[in-house]
Structure 1
Amino acid sequence: MLCQLGACQFTVAPFNMHETDHEAGASFASHEVLGRMPDLEFVGEAAETWTIRGRLFPERFGGLGEMANLHAMRRTGSAQFFMRGDGVPMGWVVIERVTEKSTYIGPNGVGRVIEFEANLKRSGSPNAAGIFNALMDIFR
């Protein structure tokens, strides 16, 4: 397993990822002081984001069902648990956007190669009812 995002498991095949970006930062309030550089006051963590990029080969390995699950989780707007493949928990995230690019379109209108990008943003953990509702929305 490469990583787990809610009900979606990214593996080598059929639903893979080949690249990921992670961005984290800090927020500071700026206080102007006459005659010198502004004082910066730490006010907390800035937004933390991940970008997952992958490539599907539906004719050879499948993966369209997993892509549909990813979109279903995005549509719920619910926080999903995100875990790296080595078991390190990355925390709760929401799926802000999923972008797909299909190339080498087959006679059925489905790309033979589908590249996707999923943008995640850290969020607070949902309550137990929120987790249950998110799972029910995915499997409808």
Structure 2
Amino acid sequence: MMMILGLFPFLRRTTPYQTLEHQMTWRHVKNERVGQYARYQYIGPGEDKLTISGDLYPEITGGDLSLTMLNLMAASGKAWPLIDGTGRIYGMYVITAITETRSAFFDDGKARHIAFTVNLERVNSDMREMFGQISEQIDGLTEKVSSAASSAMDSATSAAKSGMDTLKGLF
């Protein structure tokens, strides 16, 4: 695994990226002084942005499905943990933009080559905050899975009862 964003893994065989650009800034306020050079005061970290770019060849690597998953994650508006393959934890990031460039088309219009860029921006500054957000997402996911499982059990029970009633009617 090259990197994981939330539950989306960037793998060499599915969504490999060729470049990873990390830009971090720090904020300083300029204080003018009479007859002297201005002084600067550090006021904290600024923006922390990542840009992930790569090329997909749908016959070999991932394609529409991988990019659709990233688009759905972006549309959710949620922050996702970003961890690289070495175990480095970057923090919680939101997807701010996805760019796709399709080229070298088949007769049916499907692209043989898809260049993609995913722009991410960090939204937390404290690791404790990050783990709190992850646990909230896991709790929400657990509730959804539990609800879906309960619904499936209810449907299966209803279908079994209906089947039994049908069999009783035959005999």
Taking structure 1 as the reference length, the TM-score comes to 0.88
Structure 1 spans left out of the alignment, 5+ residues:
none
Answering whether residue 48 of structure 2 is matched by residue 21 of structure 1, we say no
Higher relative contact order (CA 8 A, sep 6+): 1
Matches within 5 A, 1:1-140: 1-124=1-124, 125=130, 126=133, 128-130=135-137
Cα deviation, residue 89, structure 1:
0.7
Tell me the distance in 2 between the aligned counterparts of 1:75 and 1:96. Answer: 10
Contact 2:63 2:114 in 1 (8 A): no
- For these two proteins, the number of residue pairs brought into alignment is 136
Q: Decide which structure has greater strand share.
A: 1
Residue-by-residue CA offset, 1:7-36 (whole Å, 9 max, x unaligned): 211111121101010011210111100122
User: One-letter code of the match for 1:3?
Assistant: M
Contact 1:78 1:134 in 2 (8 A): no
Which has more radius of gyration? 2
Cα deviation, residue 107, structure 1:
2.4
Q: Decide which structure has greater helix share.
A: 2
Residue-by-residue CA offset, 1:71-112 (whole Å, 9 max, x unaligned): 000001100010011111111000000000000012232210
Q: CA RMSD in A?
A: 1.9
Cα deviation, residue 133, structure 1:
5.1
Tell me the distance in 1 between the aligned counterparts of 2:44 and 2:4. Answer: 27
Cα deviation, residue 60, structure 1:
2.9
Percent of residue pairs identical: 26
Contact 2:27 2:44 in 1 (8 A): yes
Structure 2 spans left out of the alignment, 5+ residues:
125-129, 145-171
Contact 2:81 2:134 in 1 (8 A): no
4+ residue runs over 6 A deviation = none
